[in-house]
């Protein structure tokens, strides 16, 4: 069978996306409420930052606007996972019911076919709020807006998003081996809440864990430093793009390994 290229998958994805959005837009009230609900959820996080910094002028050498920059960076970087990999939350039910077998007979990549079926529009509200927060913090910090800075933040945001996607893929894939796998996926997803803080506020043990074992420090902290503090960029920040690609590739292989062992019997 001839191997299908990127162009083929992009065409298929946009066709599936168009149909999914049409079906969602038929319930416009739900679309609007969900989008604004996500925005207000993030506003609540913004308010908590204001309250916290009302008592503490800085956290471990990072001022309010620097933390806000990390917060906005993390929101943007987790948005692709929110929007494009939301079907991972249904994987456990599909596997245990036996319905996942229907995805195994299409002549296209199984991971692509499964994940492209759902696009979570609520993530667009999160993206809008994240961009607004990042731009606001950028302006307040007085950082120059140069073509190089824009390229850096774009590249590092894209690769940082792969880390969050990797965590969710790995958590979702656990359902192929673990019966109560929801808690694994939920735990992997909840780690994103720690991504918006500087890794330096944690103890040495947690710094190691959040860098090399559960790499949430690569969702915002390390990649954001390339733009936030360009005069003092650690090596791990420069390694963020290849690290994101490696983590995602490994999670994809784990997901596909589990799918390859699926026998369609359910539970």
Segments making up each domain of the chain, as ranges: 6-260
Q: Give the single-character DSSP code of 58.
A: E
Burial track 93-131 (b if 16+ CB lie within 10 A, e otherwise): ebbeeeebeebeeeeeebbebbbbebbbbbbbbbbbbbe
Q: Which two tokens stand for residue 59?
A: 């956290």
* Residue in 173, 162, 202, 203 with CA at minimum distance from that of residue 87: 173
Q: Which two structure tokens, joined as six digits, stand for 169?
A: 């893929």
Nearest-angstrom CA–CA distance, 90 and 182: 10
Task: Determine if the pTM surpasses 0.95.
Answer: no
- pLDDT tens-digit readout, 59-98: 778 888 998 899 999 999 999 998 999 999 999 999 988 8
pLDDT one-digit tens code per residue, 134-164: 999 999 999 999 999 999 999 999 999 999 9
172 in Cβ contact with 185 (< 8 Å): yes
């Amino acid at each position: 069978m001839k191997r299908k290229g990127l162009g083929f998958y992009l065409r298929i994805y946009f066709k599936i996306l168009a149909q999914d959005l049409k079906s969602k837009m038929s319930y416009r009230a739900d679309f609007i409420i969900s989008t604004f609900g996500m925005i207000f959820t993030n506003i609540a996080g913004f308010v908590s930052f204001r309250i916290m910094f009302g008592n503490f002028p800085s956290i471990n050498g990072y001022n309010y606007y620097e933390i806000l920059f990390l917060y906005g960076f993390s929101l943007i970087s987790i948005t692709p996972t929110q929007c494009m990999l939301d079907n991972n939350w249904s994987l456990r039910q599909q596997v245990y019911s036996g319905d996942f077998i229907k995805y195994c007979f299409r002549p296209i990549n199984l991971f692509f076919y499964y994940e492209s079926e759902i696009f979570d529009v609520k993530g667009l509200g999160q993206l809008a709020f994240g961009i607004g927060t990042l731009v606001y913090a950028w302006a307040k910090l007085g950082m120059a807006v140069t073509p190089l800075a824009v390229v850096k933040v774009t590249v590092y945001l894209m690769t940082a998003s792969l880390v969050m996607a990797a965590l969710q893929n790995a958590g979702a894939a656990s359902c192929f081996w673990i019966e109560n796998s929801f808690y694994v996926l939920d735990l992997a997803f909840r780690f994103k809440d720690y991504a918006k803080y500087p890794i330096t506020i944690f103890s040495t043990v947690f710094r190691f864990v959040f860098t090399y074992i559960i790499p949430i420090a690569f969702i915002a902290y390390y990649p954001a430093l390339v733009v936030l503090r360009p005069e003092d960029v650690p090596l791990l920040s420069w390694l963020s793009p290849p690290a994101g690609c490696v983590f995602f590739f490994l999670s994809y292989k784990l997901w596909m390994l589990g799918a390859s062992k699926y026998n369609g019997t359910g539970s």
